[in-house]
Amino acid sequence: MSDLKSKTIKGVFWSFVEKFGSQFILLISQIILARLLEPRDFGLLGMLAIFIAVSQAFIDSGFDNALIQKKNADQTDFSTVFFFNISIGLVLYLILFFTAPLIADFFRTPELVDLTRVVCLILVINSFGLIQFVKFKIDMNFKAIAQVVVTANILSAVLGIGLALLNFGVWALAAQVMGIYVFRTLLFWVKSSWRPSMVFSIKSFKGLFNFGSKLLLSGLISQTFENIYLLVIGRMFSATALGFYDQAKKFQQVPVATLAQVVGNVTFPAFSKIQDENERLRMGFRKLIKLLVFINFPLMIGLAVMAEPLFSIVLGEKWMPSVPYFQLLCIAGMIYTLHSSNLNILKVKGRSDLFLYLEIIKKVFVVLAIVIGLQWGIMGLIVGQIVTSFISFFINAYYTGKLISYSTINQIKDVSQTFLITLVSAAVMSIGWLIQNQILSLSFQILAGIGTYLLLACATKQEAVSDGILILKEIIPTRRWKNVKY
């Protein structure tokens, strides 16, 4: 197996450990905090999400992708971006500090003044550790990233739960969020040998910004619209209503966004190394989306089917209003990994201009969906998300097809069989709705869903199964795998 392929597979494994390990810890902490705190507490923090996300996109400015995409980035490049990140982080924090009263007035929630001024400190803190993170990604040292991120999440979870038990309310959530970035930054500095040089090169900055600026605008647009629903719901409804939506969104995002981030983090540097070899790139991307949908389709549909007993048992009855939101969001989540992976190809090819152009086009549809969907409340807004998710996929896939000769029709053909066996598995799972006991119903749905899906996957000889076995052989080299065939 080639060195790049071996590094990529091991990178995927450690990136999975990082993302799913950290998300599992966050999920457990969220479950505990959901039982200790009120929906309104989660809604208050959700109101700040858009401001933090957009600010973070400014700090990044597309430079992380620019450094990865640049084949021979040097110490001057890294140091230049390091000092730029810190400067922007400080400026943005000061802006949010002084505009905190305006944010509180917008949401008609006075508590947001102090909350904004404290929580937004993460913008400054996080900017100190971004280059170490990028260096590890370039070296494909995802094991080090996993160790740092998982440890930081464990420490922050303990901090948040401890404060919740002491009745600190929303400040327990704020402490957990801040703790993640404080611990991550400290651990990245301990783990990494890289240190900045006292240099800032205008030439280096311009070169990186030429690529990164397009991604900066794309990132700003993307982050604004990914969080715009929190802004609209927080303004038009209430902190409690936002809390129900935010919890549903977080639970949906644990698998779908984690999967997309894992694959994107590893395949972007890997695909960038073969960006001029279209045949290898197309073959690698084709295998990628088959494996992605093999995991994501049944995961999203399965969670939607068993949402009611899942929320009742895990979060408690006070969170049941989140269930219909969660079910619809899972439908939108089905397609997310597909269109995000298609976007990744544009970055690999250095087409940040096209990346920005497509983001603008897609967001026009998002605005229309919000304006129309708002007439039917929060449910209408989520249905709009489903529609725009599918539109985004078709737009992204069309241009990916032109770049690597892999058309939208061929992509749909490659995932159609997985979609069909997912629907059959979901139909079998739905029998569990007839069982009155929630625990028994959930247990049946999980076992029936997994069993039916794997049986059908093997019967139809899904390529993702054989690829999965090859990946396991690479990650865990042992004699036992020699006799495992598919």
Whole-angstrom distance, CA of residue 346 vs CA of residue 356: 10
Q: Is pLDDT at 476 greater than 80 in this prediction?
A: no
Whole-angstrom distance, CA of residue 334 vs CA of residue 300: 6
According to DSSP, residue 200 is labeled -
Average pLDDT over residues 345-370: 85
Q: Does residue 309 share a domain with residue 229? A: no
Residue 141 belongs to some domain of the structure: yes
Q: Does residue 362 share a domain with residue 233? A: no
Question: Which residue, 277, 278, 260, 286, is CA-closest to 410?
Answer: 286
Q: Does residue 297 share a domain with residue 152? A: no
Q: Domain tally for the chain?
A: 2
Residue 246 belongs to some domain of the structure: no
Q: Does residue 441 share a domain with residue 311? A: yes
Give the model's pLDDT for residue 331: 93
Q: Does residue 278 share a domain with residue 231? A: no
Q: Are 467 and 291 in contact (CB under 8 A)?
A: yes
Q: Does residue 329 share a domain with residue 217? A: no
Q: Which helix (H) or strand (E) holds 296?
A: helix 278-305
Whole-angstrom distance, CA of residue 348 vs CA of residue 266: 12
Q: Is pLDDT at 284 greater than 90 in this prediction?
A: no
Q: Does residue 376 share a domain with residue 288? A: yes
Question: Which residue, 347, 337, 296, is CA-closest to 453?
Answer: 296
Residue 250 belongs to some domain of the structure: no
Average pLDDT over residues 351-355: 79
Residue 98 belongs to some domain of the structure: yes
Q: Does residue 297 share a domain with residue 225? A: no
Q: Which of 134-143, 249-258, 453-462 has the highest mean pLDDT?
A: 453-462
Encoded amino acid at 98, one letter: F
Residue 462 belongs to some domain of the structure: yes
What's the pLDDT band for 486 if we cut at 50, 70, 90?
very low
Q: Does residue 66 share a domain with residue 153? A: yes
Read off the pLDDT of residues 373-389 as tens digits, 9 standing for 90 and up: 999 999 999 999 999 99
Least confident of 158-167, 390-399, 458-467: 458-467
Q: Are 109 and 45 in contact (CB under 8 A)?
A: no
Least confident of 65-69, 120-124, 402-406: 65-69
Q: What is the mean pLDDT of the chain?
A: 86
Residue-number span of the structural domain to which 348 is assigned: 274-480
Paired tokens of 401: 């097809």
Encoded amino acid at 335, one letter: I
Whole-angstrom distance, CA of residue 360 vs CA of residue 218: 8
Question: Which residue, 286, 391, 305, is CA-closest to 345?
Answer: 286
Whole-angstrom distance, CA of residue 381 vs CA of residue 374: 6
Q: Are 262 and 12 in contact (CB under 8 A)?
A: yes
Q: Does residue 294 share a domain with residue 390? A: yes
Whole-angstrom distance, CA of residue 350 vs CA of residue 361: 19
Q: Are 338 and 294 in contact (CB under 8 A)?
A: no
Give the model's pLDDT for residue 6: 65
Read off the pLDDT of residues 154-167 as tens digits, 9 standing for 90 and up: 999 999 999 999 99
Residue 313 belongs to some domain of the structure: yes
Residue 132 belongs to some domain of the structure: yes
Give the model's pLDDT for residue 1: 47
Given 184, 218, 237, the domain boundary residue is 237
Residue 251 belongs to some domain of the structure: no
Q: Does residue 419 share a domain with residue 332? A: yes
Average pLDDT over residues 177-187: 94
Given 237, 254, 285, the domain boundary residue is 237
Q: Does residue 221 share a domain with residue 289? A: no
The structure's pTM equals 0.79
Helix (H, G, I), strand (E, B) or coil at 146: helix
Q: Is pLDDT at 317 greater than 70 in this prediction?
A: yes
